[in-house]
Homo-oligomer: A and B are copies of this chain.
Amino acid sequence: MATPTTAADPQPLGLRERKKRRTRDALVDAAHRLFLCHGYGRTTVDEIASEVEVSQRTFFRYFANKEEVALAVLAGAEEAFLECLRARPAGENPLEAMRGAVREVWQSVDRGEGTGPAALELFELIESTPTLLAAHLRHTIQQEVEVARILAEREGLDPAVDLRPRLLAAVFGTVVRISHLSYAAAPATDSHSMDGMLALIERHFDQLGPALAGSWR
């Protein structure tokens, strides 16, 4: 019965891995607190590190740079989106699949998994911090490349030849981003929920056709 190493049934994580995950989470947490409180620029890496009682050098072993710790939770959500998209039924066309995946992700956020409630504040922080915005946009287009890859595979296309996947992924990303913006910009009136966000995205998608059409009058 008694295996020498503690059994690996529920979580095959050793003590070591758990500890690493703990300090990583603690760093992200402390960083967010400090960023939201004092601002990104006025928070030094040393402060974040000493908050978790870790050396600065260790911080940079977990995160390549200061931006990464700020965008960490977003990176998680992006990864979740990719997994949802890959798991969408093959019968759906590209647009349906992406809408479905976005819905899934926001609903899981709504249930409090992962990022939690600070998502909105985080968006504002990013938008108002040039460095963060730049890094975030770079991540976004990387995400779009991956999304295009998935879409092309679903449809059996070669992404080097057919540019529709890349194009659709980019347009979709744009719609989501603008939705985020007008969501955050809107006075915190009604429907500040995930349903509100999804409705916004749908609405913007509906405006896409008219926007591309010739005249607007």
Give chain A's interface residues, CB within 8 Å of chain B.
93-96, 130, 133-135, 137-138, 141, 155, 157, 163-168, 170-171, 174-175, 177-178, 182, 204, 207-212, 214-217
Q: How many copies does the complex hold?
A: 2
Q: Is the interface of A mostly helix, strand, loop or mixed?
A: helix
Pick the contact of A134: B94, B134, B164, B211 (CB < 8 A). B134
Nearest 9 pairs of A and B residues by beta carbon: A134-B134, A164-B211, A137-B137, A134-B138, A170-B174, A167-B211, A93-B215, A168-B211, A93-B214
Q: How far is the CA of A137 from the CA of B144 in the complex (A)?
A: 14
Distance between A210 CB and nearest chain B CB, rounded to angstroms? 6
A217 and chain B: residue at smallest CB distance: B155
Report the bound CA distance from A212 to B204 in whole Å: 13
- With both chains docked as a complex, state the minimum distance between the C-beta of A2 and any C-beta of chain B, in angstroms: 50
Shortest CB distance A85–B (Å): 16
Chain B residues positioned under 8 Å from A165 (CB to CB)? 211
Expressed in whole angstroms, the minimum distance between the Cβ of A182 and any Cβ of chain B is 7
**Bound Cα distance from A171 to B205, whole angstroms:** 12
A208 to B171, CA, bound (A): 9
Contact of A138 among B137, B167, B182, B209 (CB under 8 A): B137
